[in-house]
Structure formats: C-alpha cells, structure tokens
Amino acid sequence: MTAAAIPGRRGRAAARPVPWTRLAWVTWRQHRAALAGAGALLAVIAAYLAYIGREIHRAYDSFNACLQASPHALPPLGGRLAGTPACGALERAFMSFYGTGRGSVGASGINAQTVPFLLLAVPVLVGAFVGGPVLARELESGTFRFAWTQGAGRVRLTAARLVPLAVVVTAAAYGLSALFSWYIDPFVQSGFTGKFPMQLFGTMGTDFAAWTLFSFALAAFAGVLLRRTVTAMAASLVVLTVADVATLMSLRQHYMAPVAVTGAEPAGTGNWVVGNWFTTTSGGPVNQNAVFDAFAQFSPGTYASKTVAYLAGHHYLQWWSYQPASRWWEFQLIESGWLLAASLLLITATVLLIRRRPA
C-alpha cells in the first residue's frame, strides 16, 4: 500500500519564538526569592544610610554654620575644619559619627569609618546568591532538558535569564553607591578623608556597581562550569575575594604613572601617597632602614623640625610618589571599564558553554 503525503499549506507561517517579555516573566518567577532577598538586604542598608546620613548632614551643617558665624574662626588646617571654643561641642557631635568624637561612635554604634568596609562585602554576596543559582540549579537538577524544548532555545533562554538579572543588580548597586556617596560627603568636604582610601574607592562612583556586575557574571559562569549550585557560589566567593584583594593591594595604584616629588609630603587629604624613598642630592640610593631608625629617635613634638635637619645634614632627599586627587574619576572609569569588559567576557563564555552543552 502506498499513501500520498498531505501537501502543506502554502504560506503557512513558521512557529513564532516565545516573546522576550514572557521569557523575562519566567526569569522573575523562578528567581524572585533570590531577588527579594537581595532587595531586602539592600533596602536595610539604604534605610540605615538614609537615616544616619541625615543626622550626619544635620550635624555638619550646624558645625559649618557656627564656623562661618564665629568671629574667631580659624582657617582650615591641612584641609580639615578648624574648631573654635564656641563650636567645640558641635565639632564633637559631628565627629562622633566618624568615630573620633569623645565617648561616642555614632547614633547606631557603627561609625562612618566602619560602614564602607561592610559595604565591600555586598557585591560579593549579591553576585554569589543571585548569579550562582541562575543556571546551575537547572543543570544540577536536570530540568534544563525540559526547559530547552519549550520553543525558546537554549541561547535565548540563557540570555533572558542573565541580562535582566544583571541589569537589576547593577542598577540597584549603583543606587546604593550614590546613597553612600551622599552619606560620606560631609567628611570628604571637611577634609577628614579623601576618596582614594581602599574602603571608599570601591563603594563610590561607578566602581561599586561594576564589582557587583562582575560578581554576578563570575558566579553565573561558575554555575555553568561546575553545574553545582553551592559549589559555584563558594567558588565565586573565593575567586572574587582574591581578585578584590589583589586589585586593592597591587593593581589599582598602577592604572596611571604616579607623580614623584621631593621635600615635604604632598599636601591635601585627597591625594593618594603610594610610596616614598630617600636619595642623596646626587641621586644615589640611601639605606632607608638607617634613615627610619634615626627618625624613630625623634620625639613626636620635634619630629618635623628634626627630620628636616637630619636630611639636610646628611645631604639626603626624601621623595614621594602619589596619585593626585584630581585623577579619582579617571581611576574609577579605568577600573569600571576592565570590570565591565571582564563581565561581558564571562557572560559570553557562559552562553557559549550552554550552546555547546549536549542536551
């Protein structure tokens, strides 16, 4: 027996792929618990920064107004606000938030020097707990075999999960970073700190959001590579911590060639001093240990004058290498740039691994 094939309908439209909006909705449904947890963490931090930041700004405005109104106000010393007897109580109230006031470290018991160190852990945690399970969970449980056959395609499905989540966590991190910049601004304006210290550089500008995106991309890549959710989260925590410490300790200072000057230490709290050394007036090297041993014998009250006399008597020059405060935004963009490039490479590698993985 033979049977004639039924001819297909002319002009029959091919099955349309699942719309991106529906794929984004599926992503939200599957990962709303992780997003809710990350959102709750960021909301708690934001509420603390908003409340304490308002108190800091209020204390700073009162102290600054007192200085402006005081007829005996002194000019800033070394970039810092100079207190007067009339404004002493207001100065202590303001500086208590920074941890240098007498008998107080702020209204919450956490001073403004501690907060940025705590914030440095946020990108690591958000990236690991949001990015780690995004693909590893289905690979570990085997449900990816069903998901890849639902008319979306593995590449589109992967992109629909990675891109929206990456945008959400990066935008939230940038908002939190902007809030922290406002929170710490009175201490920067008064000269008690610059923006280059490692605990501040990574929590201000674009750097905080860039590290959050990199953490997310790294955790997602580890999830596809290792196919175990908990293992991927742990691996991303370790790798990101190592990368962060290596950047803080050795990489960041080499983004641009430092400026070298001789004489007194570069003035201004915003500058980042990265090294100092001693030479003879002819440029020859000097044993720094011997110089430091001589400095150690000076009393604190006469340190500056005796240091100058010692160097002049031995025909030594003290050199300083530093990054000027004016380069802060350039450093921010350099670090954010390579973090963004690394994140895109990790996301691309994640998609390629999914594409080549046999079903």
Mean pLDDT by 10 residues, the chain (359 residues): 52 55 62 76 92 91 81 49 67 78 48 86 88 78 58 71 87 94 90 86 93 94 88 91 90 90 74 84 75 68 64 76 91 96 94 75
Which residues have C-beta within 8 Å of that of residue 137, sequence separation ≥ 6?
Answer: 223, 229
What is residue 46's predicted lDDT score, i.e. its pLDDT? 93
- Tokens representing 130 are 């949001």
Q: What CA–CA distance (Å, rounded) separates 69 from 277?
A: 44
What is residue 78's predicted lDDT score, i.e. its pLDDT? 41
What is residue 217's predicted lDDT score, i.e. its pLDDT? 94
CB of 87 closer than 8 Å to CB of 63? yes
Q: What CA–CA distance (Å, rounded) separates 76 from 29?
A: 56
Q: What CA–CA distance (Å, rounded) separates 315 from 113?
A: 40
- Measured at the CA of 230, the angle between CA 227 and CA 236, to 5 degrees, comes to 85
Q: How far is CA 314 from the centre of its chain?
A: 44
What is residue 303's predicted lDDT score, i.e. its pLDDT? 57
> What is the CB-side half-sphere exposure of residue 168 using CA atoms within 13 A?
21
What is residue 224's predicted lDDT score, i.e. its pLDDT? 87
321 three-state secondary structure: strand
Q: What CA–CA distance (Å, rounded) separates 137 from 131?
A: 11
Q: What CA–CA distance (Å, rounded) separates 289 from 285?
A: 12
Q: In what order do the strands lie in the sheet with 316-323?
A: 259-262, 316-323, 272-280
What is residue 11's predicted lDDT score, i.e. its pLDDT? 47
